A and B are shown apart, each in its own frame.
Chain A
Amino acid sequence: QKEVEQNSGPLSVPEGAIASLNCTYSDRGSQSFFWYRQYSGKSPELIMSIYSNGDKEDGRFTAQLNKASQYVSLLIRDSQPSDSATYLCAVNMMMDSNYQLIWGAGTKLIIKP
């Protein structure tokens, strides 16, 4: 069974603090990992992609990948109320000779002013 696991939350973080979101996956052979942000009532929006072990930074966002431990995380620095959303982790896994995105259920993040 190929799975992606996320804590559903809600995760409550004070404004200005660092929000840390975690995701684990079951397929050791996965090569591509994505974080999407979904505001209530809206469609998911890609915010970070990561393909290699280590950190990848983009503005206030840092994605961290550890393939040996099969987890990927997203750090949001200087959290803003506008960061309040559900964050979806997605992992590309080989399924029936094709790659398919397997989705976590999402973590709801609340930034408290």
Chain B
Amino acid sequence: SQTIHQWPATLVQPVGSPLSLECTVEGTSNPNLYWYRQAAGRGLQLLFYSVGIGQISSEVPQNLSASRPQDRQFILSSKKLLLSDSGFYLCAWTGSRLASNNEQFFGPGTRLTVL
């Protein structure tokens, strides 16, 4: 069965510091991977998605970036965090972006607080 991991689970960082969040998927190959952010009491905002190694699409221009160095690894980064970057960061995977019926499955999330 497939499993998705995220770490760290919680993170408190000062404004202006760098960020690196990691997501890995087990039990599948060639997954489509997604990074979402959820602000407190709000819906899911898609940040980045990737259909393969080195292929990143950005949905929202901001001071975050993403990379996919391996098939089942997806990394979210920032060089300088802003207060507005606080939120719950979720990684998700699905089988194929081209299929119309693919369900997304989420990792446990990382709660980021920027002070």
Contacts and interface: CB of A to CB of B under 8 A. Distances in A.
Interface majority SS (helix, strand, loop, mixed), chain A: strand
A1 B33 CA distance: 24
Interface string A10-23: 00000000000000
Interface-central residue, A34, A42, A90, A98, by most chain B CB under 10 Å: A98
Contact of A49 (B97, B103, B108, B109): B103
Interface majority SS (helix, strand, loop, mixed), chain B: loop
A92 B97 contact: no
A55 interface: no
A77 B44 CA distance: 27
Interface string A79-111: 000000000101010100011110111100000
Given A43-B107, A44-B90, A92 B102 contact: yes
Nearest to B90: A43
Contacts, number: 50
Nearest to B51: A98
Contacts of B17: none
Contact of A99 (B99, B108, B109): B99
Nearest to B42: A105
Interface string B71-115: 000000000000000000010000001111111111111010000
B43 interface: yes
B19 interface: no
25 contacts: A32-B100, A42-B109, A43-B107, A44-B90, A45-B106, A46-B103, A46-B104, A46-B105, A49-B103, A88-B43, A92-B100, A92-B101, A92-B102, A94-B100, A98-B97, A99-B97, A99-B98, A99-B99, A100-B46, A100-B49, A100-B97, A101-B46, A103-B43, A103-B44, A105-B43
Interface of A: 31-32, 34, 41-46, 49, 51, 88, 90, 92, 94, 98-101, 103-106
